[in-house]
Amino acid sequence: MDNMLKPIGFFDSGIGGISVLKETIKILPHEDYIYFGDSKNAPYGTKTTNEVKKLTFEAVNFLLSKDIKAIVIACNTATSAAIDDLRKFYKNIPIIGIEPALKPAVELKKRGKIIIMATPMTLSEKKFNNLMNSYKNDNDIEPLPCAGLVELIEQGLLEGEELNFYLKNKLQPYLNSNISSVVLGCTHYPFIKKELSKILNKDIEIIDGSLGTAKQLKRQLLKENILNPKLSLGKVEILNSLNDDNIIELSYKLLNYQ
Catalytically active residues, by annotation:
75, 186
CB of 47 to ligand DGL, least distance (A): 8
- Comparing CB distances to ligand DGL, the nearer of 97 and 228 is 97
Residue nearest ligand DGL, CB atom distance: 45
The one-character DSSP state at 139 is S
Q: How many residues bind ligand DGL (CB under 6 A)?
A: 17
CB of 122 to ligand DGL, least distance (A): 5
CB of 184 to ligand DGL, least distance (A): 9
Q: Which stretch binds ligand DGL (CB under 6 A): 71-79, 209-217, 239-247, 248-256?
A: 71-79
CB of 169 to ligand DGL, least distance (A): 18
CB of 41 to ligand DGL, least distance (A): 8
Binds ligand DGL by CB under 6 A, chosen from 6, 7, 101, 122: 122
Give the bridge partners for 104, in sequence order: none
Binds ligand DGL by CB under 6 A, chosen from 24, 56, 180, 187: 187
End-to-end Cα separation, the chain, in angstroms: 35
Q: How many C-beta atoms surround the C-beta of residue 120 within 10 A?
A: 17
Peptide bond into 145 cis (omega under 30): no
Binds ligand DGL by CB under 6 A, chosen from 44, 167, 190, 217: 44
- Between CA 129 and CA 14 the distance in angstroms is 24
Binds ligand DGL by CB under 6 A, chosen from 7, 9, 10, 12: 12
Build a one-symbol-per-residue string for 123-162: x at contacts with ligand DGL by CB under 6 A, - elsewhere. Answer: ---------------------------x------------
CB of 191 to ligand DGL, least distance (A): 10
Pairing verdict, β 205-208 and 141-145: unpaired
Binds ligand DGL by CB under 6 A, chosen from 7, 9, 16, 97: 16
Binds ligand DGL by CB under 6 A, chosen from 8, 11, 13, 70: 13
Of the candidates 121, 112, 61, which has an alpha carbon nearest to the alpha carbon of residue 85? 61
Give the type of residue at 107: E
Binds ligand DGL by CB under 6 A, chosen from 8, 59, 75, 152: 75
Question: Computed over its alpha carbons, how large is the radius of gyration of the chain?
Answer: 18
Which residue blocks in the chain are alpha helix, DSSP H? 18-27, 49-64, 76-89, 102-107, 120-124, 126-136, 149-154, 161-171, 193-199, 210-224, 245-255
Give residues in contact with ligand DGL (CB under 6 A): 12-14, 16, 42-45, 75-77, 119, 122, 150, 186-188
